[in-house]
Amino acid sequence: MLAEGLVIVIGVLSALFVDGIREERLERRMLAESLGDLVVEIEDNSVTVGRVQERQIPSKVRSLERVIRVLRGDDRIADTLAFIQELAKSTRSIRPWLVDDRYQALRSSGQLRLVRDRAVASELGDFNRAPAILFGLANEIRGDYRKVVHEILPPELALDVSQLEGYAPDYMPTPVWFEGSPDYARTLRDLHGRENEFLALAQNEVAYVAAYAHAVNRYRHEMAAVLGVLDPWRPKPR
């Protein structure tokens, strides 16, 4: 009788042990898939950040340099429309649109606690906080250049430099209140009437862009580092 009871207990424990192993393997497989998805998300963000660093920041710097030369009197305006377009471009945002859905899913699902290497888990946490810290520090020194310039820009150009430009150009009709010729002469009068104010704001915007460029560069290095940490979970090419 005792032997039979012992056999039953051993059988139950063995079944629980096997179920535990099976469940752990399933969790590990799901974790590996989630970390693989995270790798893809970070790589996609890396492309976005690279575009900001290699295209948007240099373009904004060129526009700001042109505006500052005019405000200092070192350059003259030969083409009014071309200059005002340059003025509008100098206000463009250089903030990368980053996605962190996969990391948030890892956290909310509790899968992050399954990462055995605590250094990896800590690295992921630090990496997720990096954008707010790095870009936040750059934003602290930014003045009101964009806001003040947009106050004197024709509304059409303000729309042209919106971050939403290019997302839905085919079905976004020009608002009815924009009909007619933009008053570019008024924009120039406002600009020249407040040259010292705009010059100071433009110089501050240059300082902000320099700080932001440094933050973007640092973040790209952080991305490369975390992708190296996550390399064991990188999805294999199909």
Tens-level pLDDT at each residue, the chain (238 residues): 555 655 555 555 554 554 545 555 656 787 788 889 999 999 999 999 999 999 999 999 999 999 999 999 999 999 998 999 999 999 999 999 999 998 888 888 877 777 777 778 888 888 999 999 999 999 999 999 999 999 998 877 766 665 544 444 444 454 444 455 678 889 999 998 999 999 999 999 999 999 999 999 999 999 999 999 999 888 877 6
In a domain, 72, yes or no: yes
In a domain, 238, yes or no: no
In a domain, 179, yes or no: yes
Domain count of the fold of the chain: 1
Distances (CA, A) of 205 to 14, 18, 90, 195, 219: 68, 63, 9, 15, 20
In a domain, 191, yes or no: yes
The alpha carbon of residue 205 and the mean position of all alpha carbons in its chain are separated, in whole angstroms, by 19
Q: To 5 degrees, how large is the angle CA 106–CA 109–CA 115?
A: 55
In a domain, 23, yes or no: yes
**Angstrom distance (rounded) from CA 96 to CA 130:** 13
In a domain, 139, yes or no: yes
**Angstrom distance (rounded) from CA 33 to CA 91:** 41
Domain that holds residue 51: 2-233
Amino acid letter, 144: D
In a domain, 84, yes or no: yes
In a domain, 47, yes or no: yes
Q: DSSP letters of 33-51?
A: HHHHHHHHHHHHHHHHHHH
pTM score: 0.80
- Residue among 175, 179, 146, 180 nearest 163 (CA): 146
